[in-house]
């Protein structure tokens, strides 16, 4: 009792400090409560709504395979997933199989062994997402496996694809929970994929694109000047200019001319003709066989070659707005000339079949010491590569609110 009286006496003698401390603790507690618990609780209630939906006795629970990178977000990804995303999935009645990666590149190997599932969820950043789609599209049965819808829960330091699928928010908890809820909504959008193949290694697949040049090299060194605070970016550019001038990259780019693409065929199978019609059709072909048409001579591929002297070269997809209606599928090639003039070259392609893909050949000059590529924010040694566009290859879950925002931007 004496200790309690002593505490109250100290608070009374220092009433100004006590008042300030009480206000600070009250405000901090209210901010923390609103930032985490209210947001997480509201989204978990939304998850429960999906879990209360009735299913027939013959219908099975939806199965989801989650590829989680615990090292993402400076080692906080596992905690963020368990606190914010996992409860929503469980409350929604989803049967979750959680697979955690132990080292870089393991996700590619895991995708080779993964069995068929109702949905695939990637919990991590750009690096984890690239490993998953690369392992998926390297499979022998990738044609059927690529039809599995994919969900992306942004838990990494770089989440480039998140702005195309989810509503961005400064609140990390809200961002994660809204991304998880968009998976439960079930709406998907098709995304293009870039196949980047070197001379020796297996192909690498990307959803955003490839960057090569001086600005990419500078961006990789910004973290070294952390002690300069807000001036670190300018310092990185300044020291890079002093070390190397002019910062020019020589390359040879060859690409194919556009070819027409047939219209998309409906997924519904045509109705089978009547039995008498089929019998008459077969008899007609038997007595009067059709004359086969002479084979058409295949025209040789016409490559257009350009020599570039540029500060930065980027080849990227149009996945920033996946809901935009397009009459063609295209790669966007951007080069920054030495005079700092931006020149945009749109290489368009229409596909007759999945075997006639648009290809773009990139030859860095000289071959040695050409630096590094940035493929979906992952570093690769620069070499001669062939970039092939795979249009609408994968389907990702997209938030309904974000879809409406993107449609409004198009209008």
pLDDT at 177 over 90: no
- The reported pLDDT for the residue numbered 38 is 42
Comparing 14 with 65, which gets the higher pLDDT? 65
The mean pLDDT value of the chain amounts to: 77
- The confidence band for 11, taking pLDDT boundaries of 50, 70 and 90, is low
Residue 160 near residue 369 (C-beta atoms within 8 A): no
Task: Please compute the mean of the pLDDT values over residues 354-380 and round it to a whole number.
Answer: 69
Q: Is the pLDDT of residue 297 over 60?
A: yes
pLDDT score of 205 = 94
Task: With a cut of 50, say whether residue 13 has pLDDT above it.
Answer: yes
The residue that leads in pLDDT, 160 or 359, is 160
Look at the chain and count its residues: 411
pLDDT for residue 42: 46
Which of 151, 165, 20 lies closest to 81, judged by CA? Answer: 151
Q: What is the pLDDT of residue 343?
A: 43
Provide the percentage of residues in the chain whose pLDDT is more than 70: 73
CB 178 within 8 A of CB 167: yes
pLDDT tens for each residue of 245-265: 777 888 888 877 655 555 555
pLDDT at 69: 92
Q: How far is CA 281 from CA 287, 290, 291, in A?
A: 10, 12, 15
- Cross-strand pairs, 337: 310
Q: What pLDDT does residue 274 have? A: 80
What pLDDT is recorded for position 266?
56
- Reported confidence tier of residue 356, pLDDT bands at 50, 70, 90: very low
Residues 205-244: tens digit of each pLDDT: 999 989 888 888 888 888 888 888 888 888 888 888 788 7
Q: What is the pLDDT of residue 70?
A: 92
Whether omega before 246 lies within 30 degrees of 0, making that bond cis, reads yes
């Amino acid at each position: 009792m004496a200790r309690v009286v002593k505490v109250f006496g100290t608070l009374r003698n220092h009433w100004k400090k006590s008042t300030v401390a009480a206000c600070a603790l009250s405000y901090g507690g209210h901010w923390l409560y609103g930032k985490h618990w209210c947001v997480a609780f509201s989204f978990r209630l939304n998850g429960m709504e999906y879990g209360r939906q009735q299913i027939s006795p013959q219908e099975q629970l939806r199965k989801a395979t989650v590829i989680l990178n615990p090292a993402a977000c400076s080692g906080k990804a596992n905690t963020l997933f368990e606190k914010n995303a996992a409860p929503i999935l469980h409350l929604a009645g989803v049967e979750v199989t959680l697979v955690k990666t132990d080292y870089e590149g393991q996700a590619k190997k895991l995708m080779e062994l993964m069995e068929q599932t109702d949905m695939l969820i990637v919990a991590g950043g750009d690096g984890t997402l690239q490993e998953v789609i690369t392992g998926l599209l390297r499979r022998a049965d990738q044609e059927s496996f690529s039809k599995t819808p994919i969900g992306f829960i942004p838990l990494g330091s770089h989440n480039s694809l998140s702005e195309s699928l989810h509503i961005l928010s400064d609140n990390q908890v809200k961002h994660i929970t809204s991304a998880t809820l968009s998976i439960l909504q079930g709406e998907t959008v098709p995304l293009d994929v870039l196949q980047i193949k070197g001379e020796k290694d297996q192909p690498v697949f990307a959803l955003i694109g490839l960057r090569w040049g001086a600005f990419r090299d500078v961006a990789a060194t910004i973290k070294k000047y952390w002690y300069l605070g807000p001036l670190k970016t300018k310092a990185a550019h300044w020291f890079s200019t002093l070390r190397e001038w002019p910062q020019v990259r020589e390359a040879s780019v060859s690409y194919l001319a556009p070819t027409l693409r047939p219209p998309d065929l409906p997924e519904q199978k045509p109705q089978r003709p009547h039995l008498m019609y089929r019998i008459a059709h077969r008899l007609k072909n038997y007595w009067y066989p059709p004359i086969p048409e002479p084979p058409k001579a295949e025209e040789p591929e016409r490559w257009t070659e350009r020599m570039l002297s540029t500060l930065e070269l980027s080849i990227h997809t149009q996945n920033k707005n996946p809901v935009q209606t397009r009459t063609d599928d295209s790669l966007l090639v951007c080069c920054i000339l030495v005079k700092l003039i931006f020149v945009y070259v749109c290489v368009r392609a229409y596909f007759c079949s999945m075997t006639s893909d648009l290809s773009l050949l990139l030859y860095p000059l000289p071959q040695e010491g050409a630096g590094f590529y940035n493929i979906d924010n992952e570093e690769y040694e620069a070499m001669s590569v062939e970039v092939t566009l795979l249009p609408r290859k994968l389907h990702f879950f997209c938030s309904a609110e974000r879809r409406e925002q993107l449609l409004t931007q198009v209008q």
